[in-house]
A and B are shown apart, each in its own frame.
Chain A
């Protein structure tokens, strides 16, 4: 079994699955393997990818962020209200929305590091809190009527490629560099492998963690701006259930839910596979919301498989 003994095993298996899925889908329907469909899909799922990047960092530290969908909803509402109700220029409102996202993420990080609330509970509570604040602020009113130039982010294209796909690619390179090539990246792995040891070896564990959760909020804010631009409206229920897709992508990408292991390349492969499954199912006639069945199955099977591989390796 050379496949499971070499390096980057998980990524290899994923790439293989990706090719199989691509082949099967293009045989099932001829609508799938068209440039138009693939570019359009990239447009629809880029937000998941943007949030999955920092989620990888968080899960590598052994944490989790369940609040990302709610942060996205909150940022979307803040964007709409800052522009429409406070009368800020739209550019400033976009900056405020992303800043609110980063603050929300740091709030999670501070609760986790200063108050020692477990990440799961912190972000479950703020999932309710941030969504609640979004609902309270919006009072179920949507904001519309954004100016034309704003739609460039979510609906425009550069050289035929959707703008958000270009942003996602740039961010992927950035996060890959951060996790694979910098001291910060090594610190994230160290924290996930053994937090106490990391602390004793002089890593500023708390600061690194707050940064990871802050980045998660920041990217959710960025995703919110793109989301609003893509659908031309702001609603408080935006991003509901986003955490499922994002966590599924990261875990499917081989990042251990127990921390210490995982790569950005894996996450992007997992993200692509989930996007493929969603799109393929939709094209074969499964209703949009129902595709989450497959995501749920894939999530559980991926962890089962990786637990099994682990056990085989350990002999």
Chain B
């Protein structure tokens, strides 16, 4: 064994990069591909790799917004239901004969309004985000059942399938995931607002005293969450020829798992959207791996649950070490 410790000593930036959550996730992903690929080489066939990335592209997009919300120290457990509602709205609008661009765009605007109102409840009415979004979850989920009665939306227009399109051989959702992750990562790192999100999550009172309009920022972060959930909703709606108007079970949990496993600290203040996207892909890779190594897919959720718990414990441990060091 080469002495990695010595290699890293005195090189703080290298050390930080190697020990970052993103690097850990990338290594985990590569290790998974290598090990399962050795057991069954069809796992690493281009076809399967593409389907892994495709399967969770919309989860990754939603996890960008969720990461921002969690970075400010809040949470939104209503996004799963929101995505279900948006998919139904999108399909209904398209079937009403609206121009297809509008059918894609209007649900996104609706999502921004809905999530923004949730942000108002959290920021101005002081309802904890977990409770407010629990309320929204049931209003959206129940509303969807009342509205559609659970019927599928079929006979969609020919050009409806945005998520089925391929640009340069790569499916559109993967483009969306890559581009949005890059943009959001740059914006979170360099914009004044992005830094403000980190500041609020780190210490809301200090952020307020430093002149950050914390309440407005919280509403804004929920609106952004709506934007990404909206895009995710459209990608989700347009991936098949029909839309099932039920909320995918535990979708919000998968999205939150991606954000948390991606290194977004549940206590707020740290984490990146690159991490959450890597984690979303890793989760899909785990799901696919279970099939290839012949483990029942019914164990998938238990795997996710364990992963989220381990990551949180690791994060808390790391924070305590940092506190002791400083």
Residues of A within 8 A of B (CB): 64, 66, 111, 115-118, 120-122, 124-133, 135-136, 138-140, 240-241, 243-244, 247, 251, 257-258, 286-287, 289-297, 299-300, 303-304, 307
Contacts and interface: CB of A to CB of B under 8 A. Distances in A.
Interface residues of B, number: 45
Given A135-B298, A241-B138, A300-B136, 16 more contacts: A120-B130, A125-B312, A128-B304, A128-B308, A129-B301, A132-B299, A135-B299, A287-B146, A290-B146, A291-B142, A292-B138, A296-B135, A300-B132, A304-B125, A304-B127, A307-B125
Contacts of B309: 111, 125-126, 129
Contacts, number: 134
A126 B313 CA distance: 13
Interface of B: 75, 77, 121, 125-128, 130-132, 134-139, 141-143, 145-146, 149, 249-250, 253, 256-257, 260, 266-267, 296, 298-306, 308-309, 312-313, 316
18 contacts: A124-B308, A128-B250, A130-B305, A132-B301, A135-B298, A136-B301, A138-B298, A244-B137, A244-B138, A251-B131, A289-B145, A290-B145, A290-B146, A294-B142, A295-B138, A296-B137, A299-B135, A300-B131
Contacts of A294: 142
Given A293-B138, A303-B131, A129 B306 contact: yes
A25 to B, nearest CB: 19
Contact of B301 (A135, A139, A243, A297): A135
A116 B139 contact: no
Contacts of B303: 132
Given A287-B149, A293-B139, A304-B127, A125 B134 contact: no
A82 to B, nearest CB: 19
B143 A293 contact: yes
Given A286-B146, A292-B142, A299 B134 contact: yes
B69 to A, nearest CB: 13
Nearest to B256: A124
Nearest to B299: A136
A287 B301 CA distance: 29
Contacts of A258: 128
